[in-house]
Amino acid sequence: MKIAIIGAGGRLGAAFAREYSRDLEMTSFARSQLDLGRLNRVRSALAETKFELLVNCAALTNVDYCESHREEAFLVNAEGPGLLAEIANEKSANLIHFSTDYVFDGKKSDPYTEEDKAVSLSVYGESKLEGERRVLEVSSQHLVVRLSWVFGPDKPSFIDQIIQRAREDDVVTAVADKFSAPTYTIDVVSWLRLAIDKSANGILHLANNGGCSWQEWAQYAVDVCGGLGIRLKAERIGAVSLADMKNFVAQRPVHTVLSTAKFAALTGVKPRHWRDAVAEYITAHVLKK
Ligand SMILES: NC(=O)c1ccc[n+]([C@@H]2O[C@H](COP(=O)([O-])OP(=O)(O)OC[C@H]3O[C@@H](n4cnc5c(N)ncnc54)[C@H](OP(=O)(O)O)[C@@H]3O)[C@@H](O)[C@H]2O)c1
């Protein structure tokens, strides 16, 4: 299968580009090669590329930046994906487009299913929700994959920041009253192979199994580091509340664990627990640094 990856310089896009290039015919585009903020150039950037599957990992992902850059957020996160969906159609290809748990308001205590009504609290979430709508309006055969708390070896994220802070400082804290599920890029890449094999379309939730707060995630990461002999100054992660995060501009949803029951029913595979994915990530990628 011929595949093209957009946003190949990002955390998820780089993982796709590396893993899928092993056995698929792949073309990848970083932002410098294809800018979704310049819509008039997107079609020509893809004109010469042959693909049966287009994977869009590009997005404006800085939640607080989006809050004060609404137009840019909607251009990159909504109009751009809509255009990619049209181009995919013209080439008789399918599009996989990534979205986020931030499309929900986080007021539901059970895991969110694909059928739950999405109401966002932030410009980022609104723009991503509009992107979903535009992609699926072009074709119901395209696939929108919602993820939460993405981490992986290709670009630092929350877990890397926590480990770095714990190496340098005695006191490290994390938010204890916001809940979701960490999601490992390497797992997403392999789950997507299964979903593609089953011709998944519409909306699909993917995340590692189980839910936790940022503080629980951070504490577990520090515990794993300790068990592996990685020297840290802080061994306990203190708890702070979301309300204490005065530097947050955008409102964050409180509880956005995503249900992966649809994926499990489709593929017969239940995502492994986030603790297993975090332990593997630290062993494979943090220990070596
Ligand atoms: N990170 C998370 O925790 C999380 C959670 C839920 C869902 N998601 C979703 O998962 C997907 C992948 O996220 P990620 O974690 O890989 O984010 P990321 O590391 O920020 O990657 C996004 C990529 O998009 C690129 N980009 C930004 N503006 C662009 C533009 N105008 N044209 C082309 N490319 C542009 C960025 O380039 P630059 O680096 O040059 O800016 C970056 O390489 C996104 O759809 C995101 O909404 C992420």
What is the rounded distance in angstroms from the CA atom of residue 243 to the CA atom of residue 249?
11
Classify residue 283: in a domain, yes or no. Answer: no
User: What confidence tens digit (pLDDT) does each residue in 219-276 have?
Assistant: 999 999 999 999 999 999 999 999 999 999 999 999 999 999 999 999 999 999 999 9
Give the residue numbers spanning the domain of 139.
2-155+183-210+256-273
Can you read off the two tokens belonging to residue 15? 């993982």
Per the annotation, the verdict on 281 as an active-site residue is no
CA 142 / ligand 1 centre spacing (Å) = 19
What atom in ligand 1 is closest to the CA of residue 128?
47
pLDDT of residue 286: 87
State CA 25 to chain mean position distance: 23
Residue 12 Cα to ligand 1 midpoint, Å, equals 8
Number of domains in the chain: 1
pLDDT digits (tens, 9 = 90+) for 151-191: 999 999 999 999 999 999 999 999 999 999 999 999 999 99
What are the helix (H) ranges across the chain? 11-20, 39-47, 63-67, 70-74, 80-90, 123-138, 158-168, 185-197, 214-227, 261-267, 274-281
Instruction: Determine, yes or no, domain membership for 289.
Output: no
**Closest by CA position to 217, among listed 288, 168, 285, 149:** 149
Q: Report the pLDDT averaged over residues 33-38.
A: 96
With H, G, I as helix, E, B as strand and everything else as coil, classify residue 114. coil
- Dihedrals φ, ψ of 95, to 5°? -115, 135
Write out the two tokens for 160. Answer: 């890397």
User: Distance between CA atoms of 289 and 287, rounded to whole angstroms?
Assistant: 6
From residue 23, alpha-carbon distances to 18, 20, 199, 229 in Å are: 10, 6, 19, 36
Mutate to test the pocket of ligand 1, among 150, 178, 184, 185 (most ligand atoms within 8 A of CB): 150
* CATH code, domain carrying 13: 3.40.50.720
Domain assignment of residue 172, yes or no = no
pTM over 0.95: yes
Q: How many CA atoms lie within 13 A of 144 on its CB side?
A: 27
Residue in 193, 151, 196 with CA at minimum distance from that of residue 10: 151
In a domain, 36, yes or no: yes
Query: Which residue in the list 124, 184, 220, 281 is annotated as catalytic?
Result: 124
Distance CA 225, CA 174 (A): 17
Question: Considering the domain boundaries, does residue 238 fall inside one?
Answer: no
| Measured distance CA(156)–CA(183) in Å, rounded | 13
In the predicted structure, residue 211 carries a pLDDT above the cut 80: yes
- Report CA-CA distances (Å) from 209 to 27, 117, 180, 182, 276: 31, 22, 10, 8, 9
In a domain, 148, yes or no: yes
Spatial distance between the Cα atoms of 64 and 266, rounded to a whole number of angstroms: 35
Please indicate, yes or no, if residue 173 is contained in any of the structural domains: no
Identify whether 122 is part of a domain. yes
